[in-house]
């Protein structure tokens, strides 16, 4: 597949318990222009080492030959 570019945007919300709720979306693009979109939801916890985020990514459907293996899959 080669290199890909992952363009993304996240909105972070600080919660009263000092955790962070993050919601994001983005597009993965191959060098030859094939793309797949995704959305994510994460929770971040701060520690002495910084933030640790855990969450899930949901991939949409694409006609891309190279990225179709991600169609309607999830990742944690």
Q: Categorize the per-residue pLDDT at 63 as very low, low, confident or very high, splitting at 50, 70 and 90.
A: very high
Q: Give pTM, 2 decimals.
A: 0.86
More confident residue, 1 or 68: 68
Instruction: Name 53's bridge partners.
Output: 44
In the chain, domain spans:
4-64
What are the tens digits of pLDDT across the range 2-61?
899 999 999 999 999 999 999 999 999 999 999 999 999 999 998 888 889 999 999 999
Burial of 49 per CB tally in 10 Å (0-12, 13-18, 19+): exposed
Q: Which residues pair with 24 in a beta bridge?
A: 10, 40
pLDDT of residue 1: 75
Contact between 60 and 46 under an 8 Å Cβ cutoff? The reply is: no
Can you give the pLDDT at residue 47?
87
**Do 23 and 9 contact (CB within 8 A), yes or no?**
no
């Amino acid at each position: 597949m080669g290199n890909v570019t992952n363009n993304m945007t996240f909105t972070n919300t600080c919660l009263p318990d000092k955790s962070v709720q993050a919601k994001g979306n983005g597009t993965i693009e191959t060098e030859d222009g094939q793309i797949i979109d995704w959305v994510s939801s994460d929770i971040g916890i701060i520690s002495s080492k910084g933030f640790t985020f855990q969450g899930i990514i949901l991939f949409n459907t694409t006609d891309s030959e190279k990225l179709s293996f991600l169609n309607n899959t999830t990742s944690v």
